[in-house]
Structure 1
Amino acid sequence: MKSAELLVDALGRVQEAVHEAVEGLSQDDLAVRVDDDANSIAWLVWHLTRVQDDHVADAFGTAQVWTEDGWSGRFGLPFPEHATGFGHTSDQVAAVRAPAELLLGYYDAVHARTLEHVSGVTGPALDRVVDTRWKPPVTLGVRLVSVIAEDNQHAGQAAYVRGLVERRK
């Protein structure tokens, strides 16, 4: 299996998990927080998508789907356009309310852009340094693995919350 094929497969598994966590839920279901400081499905999916969009765009030197394709305006969130959710307060988490179609539309657009970038990646390209702010500097391979790991973690959290929401019905 080539590097690009491995990345495409891993990202496809994230996409499946995101869809399974979101599809068929109402906007109210997506906003459920199991306690006052917990993350909702809507926030988790928005955040994992924003992080992927931000990190992949930065690593490949392209614009983010969030701003380039107008998703920021469609969501209408009370945050700066560059916000990804890191460090959000409980009130900011609560402010992320969106229907499933919007969350999945943005996620799928970011997923498609990510696949455009990674589908031609070769082994040597994964060694390219994309972020010198860390010690050691972050390579493209490390950044992509980090994005996939974070996405999987949050998609799993969203699936867990979905199970709790469905038990309450």
Structure 2
Amino acid sequence: MMDRYYFLLLGTAIPYKHLNKIVRKFNNYYERASPERQQQFVEIVPEYHIRRFYDPLPYSMQMTGVMVEPAYLNRFLEIISRLNFTFILCHYRHGHLETTLDGIEYRVTSYRSLEDVVYLTFEYEEEIDGRFADKLLTLPLEKQVASAPGIKTREEYQHLLDTWVREVLAYPAKNA
């Protein structure tokens, strides 16, 4: 079975044209490989966060998954790191958490990086209070995602989520 990872892309200034060009090049190597060799490749599935959820990317700019030979994974990450945006390589497993504060339910997806840091990203859903999402997008990038190293228990996940939502809600509103 092929190894899989999530490629968590954070920010609004992601250079999609350059990123897609790099992805196409790596995927081209996969397409030209023999079926036996293809089984050894690693699949990296993109997950986009912290962009205007109501202004989706044009289809032509959305990155598809990338197939990388394990021997070239570090090279791929090195090339991507030169593009000057925030990305995190995460285990393929992920989870979902929710909390309710003042009668409003907040849902997040949790990812665990290869460095054992947990990241929580807000799930944009139409039925929740859009003011939270709008406020979240005005915060500095490091406040738009919750993260903490070494989290293992359900209680630790829940504490991180509750703390993060309260911090976002308490952050001074811009142009309020």
TM-score, length of structure 2 as denominator length:
0.23
Larger RCO, structure (CA 8 Å, separation 6 or more): 1
Q: Which has the higher helix share?
A: 1
